[in-house]
């Protein structure tokens, strides 16, 4: 699998190694489904808390984010550039979605 959402993401594979993935807009639903399946598999063999899928929205436009929310069922998004979030926020369809600031604050 080569992609994820319309942004970069890191996922732990079964060996505990980080895999970076990037995807294109038309493939988004397939990518979300594949990542959910991997997370479900991980959760079934892990004794820790269940994993959650967070779509990281850095440098991603509002249309793509809304598509991920509405069509892909994304309920958790993360951003580390507050000025970007302020610009996108009025356009986002965030009903039932948690928004988190992640990583080191970037300007």
Q: Is 91 helix (H, G, I), strand (E, B) or coil?
A: helix
Q: With a cut of 50, which residues of the chain have pLDDT below it?
A: 1-13, 17-24
Q: Are 11 and 19 in contact (CB under 8 A)?
A: yes
pLDDT value at residue 43: 78
Q: What is Dmax (Cα atoms) for the chain?
A: 40
pLDDT value at residue 107: 67
Query: Could you report the per-residue pLDDT of 50-74, keeping only the tens digit for each?
Result: 778 899 998 899 988 998 999 899 9
How many whole angstroms separate alpha carbon 27 and alpha carbon 82?
Answer: 28
CA distances to 29, 60, 61, 62 from 105, in Å:
29, 17, 19, 20
Q: Are 24 and 30 in contact (CB under 8 A)?
A: no
Q: Nearest Cα to 48, choosing from 16, 1, 9?
A: 16
């Amino acid at each position: 699998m080569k992609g994820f959402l319309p942004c970069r993401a890191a996922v732990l594979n079964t060996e505990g190694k980080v895999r970076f993935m990037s995807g294109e807009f038309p493939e988004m639903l397939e990518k979300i489904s594949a990542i959910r399946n991997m997370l479900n598999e991980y959760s079934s063999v892990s004794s820790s808390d269940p994993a959650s899928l967070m779509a990281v929205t850095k440098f991603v436009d509002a249309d793509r984010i809304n598509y991920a929310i509405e069509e892909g069922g994304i309920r958790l998004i993360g951003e580390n550039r507050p000025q970007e979030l302020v610009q996108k926020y009025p356009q986002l369809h965030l009903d039932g979605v948690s928004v988190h600031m992640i990583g080191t604050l970037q300007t």
